Amino acid sequence: MRTEPPLDDAPLVRALARLDADGSAAGGGYAWLVVTSATAVTVLAGRTPSLPSDLRVAAVGDATARAARAVGWRVDLVPDDTSAAGLVHALPDTDGAVLFPRSEIAATTLVDGLRARGIEVDDPVAYRTVGTGDGPVVLDAVPRAVLVTSGSVAREIARRMAPLDPRTVVACIGPGTATDARAAGLPVHATAESRSAEALLDAVVEALDPSTPDQEGHP
């Protein structure tokens, strides 16, 4: 997989102009910035030098929150349920608009959920996630596990690596990704309890060796 700019970046340019002109909610800007991937953080940070001081930031999970903090953003909200639906429920009521820079293929869960609550959402496409080719991916050895970190990754695995060897464990980073993987025709043997690399690795270790004792922080 690789990341590409949007085919039409005019909506993103307009959103950034609204953010930069007077980023405060009172000035017609945004009350919240919602990010659901580290890629969205990287794209936005690369196109705007800083965020308005009163803009609040919500991240879908710990990995996205770490990426946001790494570029100097203050993160105000990470939901306990690390999913788009979890963010919909956790975001406080607000009269200001929400900026949600997203992938071209992002599900509509977040936008639909917030709009159903009467919250204005601006959701410009910030990037596209595309495959690196069309030919089959041929490996020298059968992998013990394949890590699926998004629905788009699941679809590329199904398109370019299927059928997988029956001995290969398919591990997904969260329930939403597991659903996408099954929809793409992949078996799912392990699902991380939360959307984090640590939880995904824990799930892989348990799937590969169910007899491994639990050791918090040391899978």
Give CA–CA dist 12/153, Å, rounded: 24
Contact (Cβ atoms closer than 8 angstroms) between residue 37 and residue 43: no
Pick the CATH number of 145-208 from 3.40.50.10090, 3.30.70.1150, 3.20.20.70, 3.40.50.720: 3.40.50.10090
* Architecture of the domain delimited by 2-129: 3-Layer(aba) Sandwich (3.40)
Contact (Cβ atoms closer than 8 angstroms) between residue 137 and residue 112: no
Spell out the domain ranges in the chain: 2-129, 145-208
Phi then psi dihedrals of residue 115, to 5 deg: -65, -35
Q: Is 138 exposed, middle or buried (0-12, 13-18, 19+ CB in 10 A)?
A: exposed
Same fold, 2-129 and 145-208: yes
> CB-based contacts of 32: which residues, under 8 Å, 6+ apart?
55, 56, 57, 58, 91, 94, 96, 97, 98, 99
Give CA–CA dist 162/134, Å, rounded: 13
Give this prediction's pTM.
0.78
Average pLDDT, whole number, for the chain? 89
Which range among 19-28, 138-147, 149-158 shows the weakest confidence by mean pLDDT? Answer: 19-28
Confidence of residue 106 (pLDDT cuts 50, 70, 90): confident
Which range among 20-34, 81-95, 103-117 shows the weakest confidence by mean pLDDT? Answer: 20-34
